[in-house]
Each structure stands twice: as C-alpha cells, then as structure tokens.
Amino acid sequence: MSNLPAFVPVLFLGNKGAYSIARAFHEQYGIKTELNVTMDAGPVAHSKIVNKHIYPDLTDNLREHFIEIRDRVDRDYPEAAKIVLASEDTFTEHLISHRDIFEEAGWTVPYVDLATLEEATDKAKFYAKCEEVGVPYPHTWQVADDQVPAAASGKLVVKPAITPSYQVLHFEGKRKIYFCDNPEEAQTAIQLMRQGGYPDPIIVQDFIEGADTDQAVVTAYRSPHDKQIKLTAFGRVMVEDRSASAAGNHLAILSENGHEEVYRHVEALMTAYDFTGYANFDLIYDHDREAFVFFELNPRLGLSNYYVTAGGQNPVYYYIEDYLFGRPVPDSFEATPALFTVLPRGLVKRRLLGTAYADQVKGLYQERQVFNPLAYPYDNHWRRKLYVKASELNYYRKFKETGQL
C-alpha cells in the first residue's frame, strides 16, 4: 500500500485535451491517469502515462459504467483520494448530473452544480450576464421563430446557444460555427441546424472582423474554499482551425501577460456566477471598441489547455493542492513566454509571415520554448511519435482544403 499514490486522477475520453491533462499530471506529480475511453483514439494510443480502460458503450450506459469505474478505482487504490475530470462539454455535464455516484464514495467532482452550468454555458444567458456586469460582447440576437432577426445585417455568425445538445448531432453540412456573408446565408444555417435535430435556442451575432492573432483564450481558476481567483492564463491565438468540424479550435497559442482589463472582466463573470474551479473563455479583439470582447464561457479546461502548462502554470496543481486537499497555493497570474502548437514549424512560419509575432515566435523556436502537447518526450513509443508527426503533417492537407495556404 505504501507505493500507491496519495491521489488518483480519473479522466474521461481520449481527445487532445484529455492527453494534455494526463501529461500535466505526469509532469507535475509523476503519476498515471486512470483514463476511460470509448475507443483507443490516436491522441492517447500507445501512451505510458495513462492506465486505459475501454468501454465501447460508455455513453449508452453511463450510470452503470460510472458505478463500475468508481468501484474498480476504489478497489485498486483504497487509500487514495480521487478526483474525476472530463475533457469536453458533454462529459462535463454527465459528471455533474451523476456526481452523486462519485461523491457518495468520497470522490471530488471539481465542477459547479447543474443549475450554474446551464446558466453559464447557455450563450444567450451568458451575454445577458455580460451586460449585467459590464463585460463587452458581440452584438447578439437570440433567434425567435427560427427567423434571422430583422435588425441583423451584413456578415453574421450563427451558432447553438447550448453546445452539449449540438455536439452529439451528426448531419450533412454540420459546422461547429456558421460564418455567413449575409442574412440569407444565416437563415440557411438556422434551417440546417433545425433539420439536423438541434432543439435549443440559436444565437445570431455580428461578425467581428479580425485576424487569427486578434483571437485569444483565457483560462482561470477560482477556489471553492475562499472564492478567490488563484490562476489566470492569457493565450494569444496565432493560428485558428477553419475546418467545418473544428472551426474556432486553436492550433497555435502564444502565452502573454499584461491583460489586466481582461482579467477584471473574467473575475467579474466568475464572481457573478459564483463559478469555482476552472473556466475557459474565448475572446476577440474588437478594433472598433479597442477592447477584447467575450464569446463564451467553457466550464472546464479547454481542448488546448496545454498552453497553460507550457507557460509554466500547470493547471492540475491547483486542482490537487487547492481543490482536492485545501492546501495553500501561490497566486499565478504571469506566464513564461512559450508557444503551444499542434502544427509543424513550416506551417506556423507561413501563417505568421509578415505579422507582428513572426520574430517572437522564431525566437521561441530557437530557445526551445515551443510545445506540442502530444509530443511528450517521456511518452516515446515509436508508434506515438509516428502518430504525432503524421498528425502535424496532416494540417498541410487541411490548410489547403480550407484556403489557409
């Protein structure tokens, strides 16, 4: 028993965000994550930093499998504290909805209650909250009677107000976000979403012009104990994914400091919701307003969460030391300059050619301060290294298909 860890992280699903969390645990504490997946997906395949358990029908029999997983982990680690995490929105909601299974066994589920989750992640309600606390956001309408609002004109963005109920749908022409040149295209997008089975409110927004480097992401941690924000990490997006299924995902992020106004807005929102644990915010710089505006709150560590670890602010440290054990932790509001990227160097260079960030990023490559979250030197199985290289090179094809080359 003495060789068993003091705590065990239990994680669901096997995307890039999940591997990033498992890597953060291994880097910080030298332990493996108990990973539960529906298949042996590429990002976590042939990894030696996870103990993998495959449940092909995991999503079909959630409650039964949650109980089975809880009992297995308790048997294997009888004295260890347990913390359970998700790597995407739908499973975050699943863990919250079934938290009684874990909490009755003394496990920690480091997420807000279901009512707070639903209010914070409903984009229509989120923008109302932004209005209430003075946080800038894009000009937004909630669709009524499935019609584009009469006041909407010019370039528009159409997206679901409720992400989890949209994520699970599969239909031809589906996009994560619909960028529309005019109201007619926006109306087509609304009809497509409805025909595809999306049942919840739809949002229409003014399109804010900007380059990839006008985009940003902020990760923040607020303690459940003293309700103070302990960590904020600002990432300047260098390259964004524009493919249909992953539009808006961040492919390269530069850690930055000195965004105090953004941090004040983050604190205002998390305080207004009494939101504890991690929240992840997507932003864009509006040149007309000369300010960053907020798009959404994600109730978890984001898919690109490794940009936080790369900048020297390992996020799982706060989950364990503060959330799980209630130990004193230092505030962390500044990052070390670093580049997170899942792209090959040649693509990053081409995308940043002529921008204000080209020289800085070149310097980070020279200083070896560039990190692909999947390319963990410790996790060095040859098949993993082959997968990571193939994954990087595949972006040349994706960029050609989406007009980014």
Per residue in 95-126, pLDDT (tens digit) is 999 999 999 999 999 999 999 999 999 998 99
Of the candidates 364, 19, 18, 399, the one whose C-alpha atom is nearest the C-alpha of residue 212 is: 399
What was the pLDDT predicted at 404?
Answer: 75
Query: Looking at 257-312, which runs of residues are DSSP E strands?
Result: 277-286, 291-298
pLDDT in tens, 195-210: 999 999 999 999 999 9
Cα distance between residue 299 and residue 115, in whole Å: 12
Residue-wise pLDDT tens digits, 288-327 = 999 999 999 999 999 999 999 999 999 999 999 999 999 9
149-193 pLDDT, tens per residue? 999 999 999 999 888 889 889 999 999 889 999 999 999 999 999
Segment 66-90, tens digit of pLDDT: 999 999 999 999 999 999 999 998 8
Cα distances (angstroms) measured from residue 392 to each of 33, 111, 231, 298, 342 = 25, 33, 30, 26, 6
> What pLDDT, on a 0 to 100 scale, did the predictor assign at position 29?
98
Q: Decide if pLDDT at 386 tops 80.
A: yes
- Residue 186, both tokens: 């926006």
Distance CA 53, CA 374 (A): 19
In which order are the strands placed within the sheet that holds 202-206?
140-142, 202-206, 156-160, 178-180
Residue 5, pLDDT score: 87
Report yes or no: 311 and 338 within 8 Å, Cβ to Cβ: yes
User: How do residues 225-264 score in pLDDT, each as one tens digit?
Assistant: 999 999 999 999 999 987 766 677 899 999 999 999 999 9
Helix (H) or strand (E) holding 340: strand 339-341
Chosen CATH of 7-109 out of 3.40.50.720, 1.10.287.3510, 3.60.15.10, 3.30.465.10:
3.40.50.720
Domain boundaries, the chain: 7-109, 139-206, 212-402
Q: Does the pTM exceed 0.85?
A: yes
In this structure, of 142-151, 264-273, 344-353, 381-390, the range with the lowest mean pLDDT score is 142-151
* Helices 123-133, 114-121: crossing angle, 10 deg rounding: 80
Per-residue confidence (pLDDT) for residue 167, from 0 to 100: 84
Could you give the CA distance from residue 114 to residue 122 in angstroms, rounded to a whole number?
Answer: 12
**1 pLDDT band (50/70/90 cuts)?**
very low
Helices 260-273 & 114-121 angle (0-180, nearest 10): 140
What integer pLDDT is reported at residue 313 of this predicted model? 98
Encoded tokens for 331: 């505030």
pLDDT given at position 395:
92
CATH architecture for the domain at 212-402? 2-Layer Sandwich (3.30)
pLDDT confidence of residue 241: 87
Same fold, 7-109 and 212-402: no
